[in-house]
């Protein structure tokens, strides 16, 4: 496969989608909000997905990049810390929204934070 038809950001977003959605099985999805073990497994699978890209682009800091992907994913996907972030930093409260709107707010903010991490990692490694 010719990876040069994609920009690094496009590839990282594709791999993000694979790691965050496609490879997240039902056990991970239903337990990651209740169990740090399940959240850790999901975060590890997510970070492992990026290893081929880290190698392909010859990141000067591969272990740091892997660790940041794992740890940031763990923190962002931890629903208690994420909801606390929304309520304290962004002043968004669940009781002000319908259930579907609240889920959309969570998803959009979750994905924006993951995008920020991915862009940061690319800027840190690709100069």
Question: Distance of alpha carbon 64 from its chain centroid, rounded?
Answer: 16
DSSP letters, 7-55, are -HHHHHHHHHHIIIIIT--HHHHHHTTT-HHHHHHHHHHHHHHTHHHHH
Whole-prediction pTM: 0.90
Supply the mean pLDDT for the chain: 93
Q: Are 97 and 105 in contact (CB under 8 A)?
A: yes
Question: Distance of alpha carbon 60 from its chain centroid, rounded?
Answer: 21
Structure confidence at residue 48 as a pLDDT band (50, 70, 90):
very high
Q: What is the mean pLDDT of residues 78-101?
A: 85
Question: Taking the domains of the chain in order of start, what are their residue ranges?
Answer: 3-125
Structure confidence at residue 1 as a pLDDT band (50, 70, 90):
low
Q: Are 49 and 18 in contact (CB under 8 A)?
A: yes
Residues 6+ apart with CB under 8 A from 69: 46, 47, 50, 117, 121
Residue 2 has pLDDT above 80, yes or no: no
Residue 19 has pLDDT above 70, yes or no: yes
């Amino acid at each position: 496969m010719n990876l040069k038809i994609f920009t690094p950001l496009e590839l990282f977003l594709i791999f993000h989608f694979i790691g965050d959605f496609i490879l997240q099985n039902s056990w991970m999805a239903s337990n990651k909000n209740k169990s740090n073990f399940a959240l850790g497994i999901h975060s590890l699978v997510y970070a492992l997905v990026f290893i081929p890209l880290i190698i392909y682009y010859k990141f000067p800091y591969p272990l740091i990049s892997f660790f940041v992907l794992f740890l940031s994913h763990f923190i962002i996907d931890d629903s208690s810390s994420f909801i606390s972030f929304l309520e304290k930093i962004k002043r968004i409260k669940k009781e002000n929204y319908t259930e579907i709107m609240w889920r959309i707010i969570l998803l959009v903010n979750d994905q924006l934070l993951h995008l920020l991490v991915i862009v940061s990692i690319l800027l840190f490694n690709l100069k």
